[in-house]
Structure 1
């Protein structure tokens, strides 16, 4: 039976190699982006054409902005309320803000930027916090606020002795020698030119953002990477695979991520919708490979909503699960072997006590053996009405389907 299309769309960006020789290269951002892509594809079952991936030299400022428009804002396949995931792994930085960048009540300051592949080359200043805010507002106006922005970067970490020692493993680069305040202003997203920002805003301090931001660390902290990936991305993906995401909020997800990283780096999640289920539960649709089961009499005797007409026979084995949602962790909590079969349901005994209501998935058909049936009257009526032999009726009713 065909499963419904997962309504998730992603823009995934990873940059290790930078065009400017003044920007240190990284070593695992591309790998992180590919891991996120695999998670979306294999775990959440997102179709390939719903994910746009930009790696290294493909992730120029122009390409990022155009992909944002083409793949997300102007994508007619995205319906309002569909889940949108934007992932960025690469350098972050800060740049001196020009006059007029902030509100009139603000005096001086710096802007935070995401470093595109061509950051620092011929005046390219990357994607500023002010630009991203305007971009995401435009996206939210068009497609709704079910938007998750995941940033594995950092911005102006404090130059403490430990941070200096970790410089080579930190996803941050200075901008003083490669970007000017004039470059920052020239690179603004068109809609952002009409707005100003509060001083000290940055990516993690936006006012009422119409999206949920998942950031590797707060301002002044460092985002660390190793050969196996960014600490934040690794912790995020590990948590996502360990957690029943269909019932988890962003806040509860953060509570599980932080202990995996430790005190050296503190991720922050901000936005009006952090108490919502992850991706507003859009990817976690019912999986039709699971069938309803319920206990009767005691916590180990089960009635399963699958019977002889579906190919079930005595000895058919099921695994039992707490839910039936795709893309959400769902380990087996027990096994059951069928003992009695009826046309559209069956009985069995679980290996362990289970909840009153659970879900069954076929593990082994066992069609080589015999079966018990409690429908003589029904079979007799079918035989009389059709004139077919009992053997042919039995064969047609209990032949295991090929799906």
Structure 2
């Protein structure tokens, strides 16, 4: 019998809450990603529990034990228990009554297998007993997990028609867990790709960024290209987008850079800030993400060191990833190293300093100050003594 082993199973607050749900009578089990990750030796951050108890009963039991219970999705059977070491979602066993590709109407059940059957992939339909930690597998999830195979439960096409987002979820999970490719799954995703247009832009954006944030999303990205998925979700993708992504991933690996899903998304697009902003707006990205997309899509300046360029960019933390994507090979390593752990120094002069050197208060002060700062940056931020010389020279010339 396979058992999970993970630090989170020893959480005292979690154990205390489980007593309330009566695991001894098989009223609740761990389910989904936390079980899957535990089997892979990955420490989970989100813990989900499936239960035979109706959501109202879950609420009553939790509140009776002094545990805050939030009805996060009662219509779909979900209650969130707010625990000291992190929230836990508790969802009543369900079966789908009707689906339209975006939403599902569900009915509650007490049948574990019936609940597992409505889930997307075999590796996500694993249960674990909270007391013995033994795993229950109804659809060869353990076998597929060992083989690195992401496979739909039942007929792939039917599962996609139930929820169109499963197309992108397939490629995301393949990027994270897959080794072998399920031909049936890829073919079904390609066949139904146009149905992704019915989904909200926010849901598409979330899945794309999760997919691109995987350690190595390249194979999934290529499968998506072959299946016509990118044509639907990212029609602006550059013809050489996958080549750009390949180069970026190689640079990340060579320099030990952290993954940046937004940067990888920008790599797929042409070097056009306006187009990148259009894409970001369509995907309903945040204001900060839109700003980053515009910066990442801009060509790298022809002149100046990485630090000099950083002095003209706000926020400056965008410069290192921008360099990683767009800088020429000749300056990449040196520029990356020069930015590591470095911050643009604050410009130490102000208008009063310029006035003290003899320029009358007025617009000439700002003009002179701007020229001093420009020369200070051009000389790679020299010390105060040299800055004073620069200021005196600028004022004398003025």
Q: Same fold (TM over 0.5)?
A: no
Q: Which TM-score bucket, shorter chain as reference? A: under 0.3
Higher relative contact order (CA 8 A, sep 6+): 1
TM-score, length basis structure 1 = 0.27
Q: If the length of structure 2 is used for normalisation, what is the TM-score?
A: 0.27
Judging by fraction of residues, say which structure has more helix.
Answer: 2
Higher strand content, 1 or 2: 1
